[in-house]
């Protein structure tokens, strides 16, 4: 214990997250969450929060061993376009249109020269299809004009592309380039706030705070696991707290049914998950 405390090395998930070092959630945070307040406890020390976060991250890895990117893709271009199309719709819907889309427009050059009416017809099931046709046409043209038709592998380049923010860039970097990235989507933000890891609402600030808690090498898979948990267990409206493996460390335990039988019925299987 003392050696850990005195060590100059930054703590890593492997070294600090054993159950013996992860205290259950502070009761005051759970009381605050039960009253509808923020479950973030400013009195929890950074070290205690880090240990608790890493313990929860390890538990998430056990709960969701199959976590992965739920958008279908075979290369960085397909993933980038699919991620842009996934705004305001489900991954399943995007996966239904992308075989036809990439069959017809397999790269940036082909997509940049697409006939708008034909493109809109393919994108129709994803909703907002006119705006999305505009987005992917603009994206393909920018790739062609500025990156020779290739998807760049750096955050600073990706975010200069039209319609590409940090969330989309992190999806592409993490899953197509093996560059660790935290994907702060609606599920991710909701869950890490419920976990009491941050009180921030701004995705960029959420990303920065979670980056302090979770080792960089784990960011991509950790993001998938959190998003899986949000889609299957910790739902926006009815969290399945009574069937949640994170309950011991989560200050928001109790915001959803705690009766195991009731909660288990709320857990969605991968097939039934909305993959939004
Ligand atoms: S389901 Fe309940 S216990 Fe589990 S992470 Fe969500 S709020 Fe916490």
Q: What is the mean pLDDT of residues 4-32?
A: 48
Ligand 1 pocket check for 233: Cβ under 6 Å: yes
Query: For residue 19, is pLDDT > 70?
Result: no
Instruction: Choose the residue to mutate in 30, 64, 238, 247 for probing ligand 1, maximizing ligand atoms within 8 Å of C-beta.
Output: 247
41, 91, 185, 218: the catalytic one is 185
Q: Is residue 187 part of a domain?
A: yes
Residues 62 and 80 in one domain: no
Q: What is the mean pLDDT of residues 10-36?
A: 55
Ligand 1 pocket check for 249: Cβ under 6 Å: no
Predicted pLDDT of residue 5: 33
Pick the last residue of a domain from 120, 143, 176: 176
Predicted pLDDT of residue 85: 97
Predicted pLDDT of residue 29: 73
Residues 6+ apart with CB under 8 A from 50: 11, 16, 212, 213
Predicted pLDDT of residue 269: 77
- Check if the beta carbon of residue 243 is closer than 8 Å to that of residue 267: yes
Strand segments, DSSP code E, in 72-136 are none
Instruction: Choose the residue to mutate in 193, 256, 258 for probing ligand 1, maximizing ligand atoms within 8 Å of C-beta.
Output: 256
Query: For residue 9, is pLDDT > 50?
Result: no
Query: For residue 51, is pLDDT > 70?
Result: yes
In tens, the pLDDT along 56-102 reads 999 999 999 999 999 999 999 999 999 999 999 999 999 999 999 99
Predicted pLDDT of residue 140: 98
In tens, the pLDDT along 255-275 reads 999 999 999 999 997 655 555
Q: What is the CATH number of the domain that holds 237?
A: 1.10.1670.10
Residues 212 and 230 in one domain: yes
Predicted pLDDT of residue 2: 32
Domain count, the chain: 2
Instruction: Give the residue carrying structure tokens 């380049």.
Output: 157
Instruction: Give the residue carrying structure tokens 């034909």.
Output: 118
| Å from CA of 78 to ligand 1 middle | 33
Predicted pLDDT of residue 10: 31
**Structural domain boundaries, residue 137:** 76-176
Q: Which of 46-55, 81-90, 217-226, 266-275 has the lowest mean pLDDT?
A: 266-275
Most distant CA atoms of the chain, gap in Å: 67
Rounded to two decimals, the pTM is 0.87
Residues 100 and 172 in one domain: yes
- Rounded-to-integer distance, Cα 105 and Cα 107, Å: 6
Q: What is the mean pLDDT of residues 16-40?
A: 65
Q: Is residue 231 part of a domain?
A: yes
Ligand 1 pocket check for 239: Cβ under 6 Å: yes
Residues 209 and 236 in one domain: yes
Q: What is the mean pLDDT of residues 21-34?
A: 68
Residues 82 and 172 in one domain: yes
| Å from CA of 252 to ligand 1 middle | 6
């Amino acid at each position: 214990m003392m050696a850990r405390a005195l060590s100059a090395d930054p703590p890593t998930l492997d070294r600090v997250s054993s159950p013996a070092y992860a205290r259950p959630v502070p009761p005051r945070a759970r009381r605050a969450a039960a009253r509808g307040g923020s479950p973030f406890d400013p009195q929890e020390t950074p070290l205690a929060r880090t240990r608790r976060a890493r313990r929860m991250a390890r538990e998430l890895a056990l709960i969701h061993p199959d976590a992965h990117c739920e958008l279908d893709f075979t290369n960085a271009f397909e993933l980038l376009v699919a991620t842009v199309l996934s705004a305001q719709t489900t991954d399943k819907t995007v996966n239904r249109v992308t075989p036809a889309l990439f069959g017809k427009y397999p790269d940036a050059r082909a997509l940049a020269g697409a006939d708008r009416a034909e493109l809109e017809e393919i994108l129709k099931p994803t909703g907002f299809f006119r705006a999305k046709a505009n987005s992917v046409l603009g994206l393909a043209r920018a790739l062609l004009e500025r990156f020779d038709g290739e998807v760049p592998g750096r955050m600073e380049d990706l975010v200069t592309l039209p319609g590409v923010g940090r969330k989309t860039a992190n999806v592409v970097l993490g899953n197509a380039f093996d560059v660790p990235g935290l994907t702060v989507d609606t599920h991710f933000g909701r869950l890490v706030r419920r976990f009491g890891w941050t009180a921030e609402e701004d995705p960029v600030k959420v990303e920065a705070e979670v980056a302090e808690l979770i080792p960089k090498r784990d960011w991509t898979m950790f993001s998938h696991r959190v998003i899986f948990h949000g889609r299957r267990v910790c739902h926006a409206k009815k969290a399945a707290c009574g069937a949640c493996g994170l309950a011991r460390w989560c200050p928001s335990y109790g915001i959803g049914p705690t009766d195991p039988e009731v909660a288990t019925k709320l857990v969605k299987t991968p097939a039934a998950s909305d993959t939004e």
